[in-house]
Every structure is written in structure tokens, then in C-alpha cells.
Amino acid sequence: MSLRETTAKAVAAIVGGDNVITSDETILALDPILISNYQKAFRYEPEFIPLCYVKIKSAEMASKVLAYCNENDIHVIIRTGASSSEGQLKVIDDRTVILDGAPMNKIVKIDPENMMATVQCGVPLAVLEAKVNELGLTTGHCPQSQPMAFMGGLVATRSIGQFSTYYGGIEDLVCGLEAVLPNGNVFRIRPVPRRAAGPDLRHLVIGAEGTIAFMTEVTVKLFAYYPDEMWKHGYIVRDFHEGLKVVREIMAKGYKPSVVRLYDKPDVDQNYGSVKLKDEEAFMFYSCEGPGEVAAVNGESIHRICMAHGAEDIGTKAVDHWFVHRNDLCDFIGTEKEHQYFRETGIAYATVEICADWEDIGKIYDDAMDYVPKKVQNLTMFGGHVSHSYVNGTNIYFVYNIRMTSPEASELDYWSVMDAICDVVLKYPSATIVHHHGVGKARVLRIKEELGSSYQLLRTLKDSFDPNGIMNPGCLLPLEK
């Protein structure tokens, strides 16, 4: 029997034949990102197809399947919403099974008294958010991929939402979880408000991109929700650097906006038809949340700071537009319309998100705007925006359009931009090459430079929890062989 037949048969004996899919056609239809959308548009097929695709419906199932794979050197890629963007789900060999956590989709408990919700890994974020909104609550987690992403993937990629400057990233929201190690052992981290019992074990799972454990359940915080009391406003500022000064002052003085966004002209020209900027100008907008009086005080102070920096107040029209259309991209990605666009233009678009302290972020922006278009000559647009800010620094989301060399070379084309941005960012000690999409297989060749002497900690963790290297090989950590 082939490895494919043996594996499918053994796994079916554990989980039941109905939960194992072996047909290539069905697997390809089920999994949106075994291959990039660009290549899919040109009817390319992935180099490797998984041995089989397994629907996981309980922690017990996950435990037994992982233990089988661990004993038989079968590689495992876990997925939930399949919206990750850095090649996390790409199959890179001929001995991989996909474990789909999406069928674990129960909301276990919503606890308004203790302001927490416990859900299985396959609960779509949009479903949880709608459910808690009915109770006047919010998860506070609203990434652009909210219509596509599920709780497992959101935790595993260390994701962040558009309102993060008020609520925090997923690492601030996860209180406890349950997960399964490759040897089949199940562990639980109880949800408590805070714990000082050693290092924070939640972080073995948060951001591990499915390379250490299969998370089956998670408990997240909830917040009071005041959508009708939100303050929001837009401004045009002299240039991107002046905008950075405004954002720094707001954060350093301790104000608490929920959305902080600052766009350069190339990004505005592509994404905000109604905002017209002169050459150097930048567009920025802010929202403030919480009880109305808190939102108003934060908003008025932010307005004062913007005006003191000579910003032009352009009201709320462009901001309202963003609030309505902020996740529209999810309706376009992977559709025939997108594929047709790729075939007609040969141009693709993507983003790379980085982060640095206040001293370096402006220098990185200037360096990247100068270096990246010279290094990658088939760029047709290159710009960026700030979207997640902290007291000690902020991120930049570089955005680009690229004329693809060919469908075959498109992965290298995407990665050439990422690589050029990493060249710039890694020169700065206060910066990181990845703010929230995770490392995946796209940035993995730069992870040793990113982590420096702390890379040995990640390698040791990986090797001790996954000694046989079955969990998503080549993702987050480079293949050693």
C-alpha cells in the first residue's frame, strides 16, 4: 500500500471514514490556500497535495490522530479559517496531512459576569462577535479578516484587530486555553485574571502557528460595547513624518484611541478616492471608544493635538467610508473576479507589516521607500500606513502592487518584496520584521536574524515539544536538514 493509502486507512480507523477526505479534487476545493490565489487564477496546481484531509471534532480525536502521526513520521498542518497570509498552510512535502479544526465550532460559554467567552478553535470570529454583541459586549478583536478567520488561527498567528490600540492584540485577550501536544497529551491553562506562577505558558500556543500544539479551546476577554458613542475624525497632515509625530504625541501622553491610522499618498491614492492629497501630504484618522464621556474626552484631546500640528480637519466622510468598507477585501480575495483581474493585468497586490520604536520608524519608512522600489523593479505601487500604535512605537503596513514575472515565479515575486523590506528593517535594533501576520513559510529564512541570540530558545522549545518535527515543518522555524 502507498503511504497515502496506509495513512488514510489508519486515520479513518481513529476518527471514522466520514471524517477523512482523500480525493485530490475535494481537498483542493476545500482548502483555499494550498496554493496562492495568483497561481490559482492561472489554473496552477500545488506541487504537493496532502495525503488526506481530516475533520477534527474533539480534543480526543486531535490527540489520537496526532499520536498516530507522531509515531509514524507523518507531518501535520492544522487549519481553521485558512486565511493566513504568509504561506503557513503551504504543503511542502509528500507526507503531510491537513487537520481541520473548523468542525470544533461550539461556543462553550459566554460569561457576562466575568467578562469572558470560552469557545472551540473552529468558531468563526464573526459568529462569536455577533453573539456577544447581542449582550452589549464585544471581543474587541476585529482584524480585517474577521469575516474569514476562526479563533484557532487567530490565536496561533498572534493576530491583531483594527481597534487594537484600545483593546490590545490577541495576546492581551487570551485568558486560558486547551491544547494537544504532538505526542497526544492534552493540557489546559486555566483562565485567570493574572498569574505569577512562572513564565506565561499561554505563549507556547499563541503565535506558534501550529508548530508546537493543536489548540482546541480558548477563553478570551469580553468588553462593554458602545458602538453608538464612538468618536471619529479625519485629518490631512503636512507629511507622513509630521503624522508620525502626531501619533507619537497621542500615545506618549496616554490618550486611548481605538483606531489610529496614518496613510501616505500612494496608499491613499489607491484606497481612498475621496481624499485628495498634494505630493507630500498624508491622511490620518482616529476613533475613540468606551463609555461616551470617555470617548469624547479622548477624542477632543486628540483633535487638539492634531490641530496643534497644523493638520486640516476633513470631518468624518472618509472615516465613515472606512468603517463601512474596511473588510470588503475579504469578499474579493479568492473570487473569480480577483482571478480575472490577475489574468488581465498580471499585477498582484500584497502587504508586509513591520514595527519599530518612535526613533526608528520614520527612518525605516524613508529607507524602505528609497531601497525597495530600486531592489524590486517590477513594483508598480509602493506605499504604507500606520495602523497599530503603542506608547513605545508603532507599526507600518507596507502595501504594494507588483507586476508578476510569471505565474511560476509569482511566489518568488511576492517574497522578493518581503525580503527587501526585511533587508531594511533588520538594520534597526528597535524593529521587527513581523508585526502580526506571523512568520509562516514566507519570512522563515529571516527568523534567525530577527530573533538573534534568542532563536536558540525557540529552537529548544520546538525540539522538546515536537522532537520528531511533525508539526508544520518549515513554518516559523527553518528546516534544519
Distance CA 23, CA 27 (A): 6
User: Which residue type, as a one-letter code, is found at position 272?
Assistant: Y
In Å, how far are 64, 202, 345 from 209, measured between CA atoms? 20, 13, 33
Q: Which is nearer to ligand FAD, 140 or 299 (CB)?
A: 140
Distance CA 384, CA 370 (A): 13
Binding to ligand FAD in span 218-257, by CB under 6 A: none
Site string for ligand FAD, 387-426 (x = CB under 6 A): ----------------------------------------
Distance CA 125, CA 163 (A): 15
Distance CA 103, CA 96 (A): 20
Regarding 215 and contact with ligand FAD (CB under 6 A), the answer is yes
Q: Which is nearer to ligand FAD, 138 or 472 (CB)?
A: 472
Among the listed residues 143, 266, 299, 473, the single contact to ligand FAD using CB under 6 A: 143
What are residue 365's phi and psi, to 5 degrees? -60, -50
CB 308 to ligand FAD: min, Å: 30
Regarding 129 and contact with ligand FAD (CB under 6 A), the answer is no
Regarding 144 and contact with ligand FAD (CB under 6 A), the answer is yes
Binding to ligand FAD in span 191-210, by CB under 6 A: 209-210
Q: Which is nearer to ligand FAD, 78 or 306 (CB)?
A: 78
Site string for ligand FAD, 290-329 (x = CB under 6 A): ---------------------------------------x
β-pairing, 96-100 with 174-180?
A: unpaired
Regarding 35 and contact with ligand FAD (CB under 6 A), the answer is no
Cα dihedral sign, 313-316-319-325: negative
Among the listed residues 15, 20, 34, 89, the single contact to ligand FAD using CB under 6 A: 89
Q: Which is nearer to ligand FAD, 251 or 442 (CB)?
A: 442
CB 113 to ligand FAD: min, Å: 27
Among the listed residues 22, 96, 118, 145, the single contact to ligand FAD using CB under 6 A: 145
Regarding 82 and contact with ligand FAD (CB under 6 A), the answer is yes
Identify whether the C-beta of residue 177 lies closer than 8 Å to the C-beta of residue 50.
Answer: no
Regarding 40 and contact with ligand FAD (CB under 6 A), the answer is no
Identify whether the C-beta of residue 108 lies closer than 8 Å to the C-beta of residue 58.
Answer: no
DSSP state of 149: -
Among the listed residues 80, 139, 219, 395, the single contact to ligand FAD using CB under 6 A: 80
Identify whether the C-beta of residue 47 lies closer than 8 Å to the C-beta of residue 90.
Answer: no
CB 310 to ligand FAD: min, Å: 31
Q: Give the three-state DSSP class for 13.
A: helix
Distance CA 187, CA 425 (A): 37
Distance CA 123, CA 121 (A): 6
Among the listed residues 46, 50, 87, 101, the single contact to ligand FAD using CB under 6 A: 101
Q: Which residue has the cell 502595501?
A: 399
Among the listed residues 436, 441, 443, 446, the single contact to ligand FAD using CB under 6 A: 436
Helix (H) or strand (E) holding 63: helix 59-71
C-alpha angle 67-69-73 in degrees, rounded to nearest 5 = 125
Q: Which residues bind ligand FAD (CB under 6 A)?
A: 77-85, 88-89, 101, 121, 143-145, 148-150, 152-154, 156-157, 159-160, 209-210, 214-215, 329-330, 333, 436-438, 472, 475
